[in-house]
Structures are given as C-alpha cells and as structure tokens.
Amino acid sequence: MTRAEFIEKNKHLFWYIKKEKIQDIGNEVLVEFIFNYGTWDDVKELIKIIGFQELKIVYEATTDRKIGNYIPEMYSLLQRIVYKYAS
C-alpha cells in the first residue's frame, strides 16, 4: 500500500483537515493521528510505509507542546517502538 492509499483509507481520521488538503499532510500529523485514533493494524501498516527511521525522526521532532497532542499511552507506545526498533 502506498502512503497516498493509506491516507485515503484512513481519511475519516483527519476530520478537521479539508478534503483537498488531506494528501498534503506531513508525517508528523500522519503519525499523531494514526497512533491516537487508528487501530493496531493501522499503526503496523504506517510503520511499513514510512519506516522506523522516519518514525524516529517524527518522535525526535516532537516537542513539549506537541506531546500534549498525543494520548499519553499512545505516546508511550511510540516511544517504546522507536527505542526498540529505530535506535
């Protein structure tokens, strides 16, 4: 599955983004929404598409304010995945 197909499949999760702008979202938004609102299968598919190194880049770019956008348990999961597979 391509990134575009994955976004199209999960477009219902990006409820506040205009339909014509959904394909333009960055990996930061994609990771945040999939981890917060997607299923475990969505998370696994996302990692297959963007890879562990890109996931690590997104994680490392997450600042204090952005951490607050994550459900705490999902941010913890993101952190554990990055530490285990991308370090």
pLDDT at 24 over 80: yes
Range of the domain at 36: 3-85
Cβ within 8 Å of residue 14, ≥6 positions away: 7, 22, 25, 29, 33
What is the reported pLDDT for 83? Answer: 94
Where residue 74 falls among pLDDT bands split at 50, 70, 90?
very high
Query: Are the CB atoms for 49 and 1 separated by under 8 Å?
Result: yes
User: Does residue 63 surpass a pLDDT of 90?
Assistant: no
Please check the confidence at residue 64 and state whether its pLDDT lies above 80. no
The residues near 32 (Cβ < 8 Å, ≥ 6 apart) are 66, 69, 70
Number of domains in the chain: 1
> Is pTM, for the whole model, over 0.85?
yes
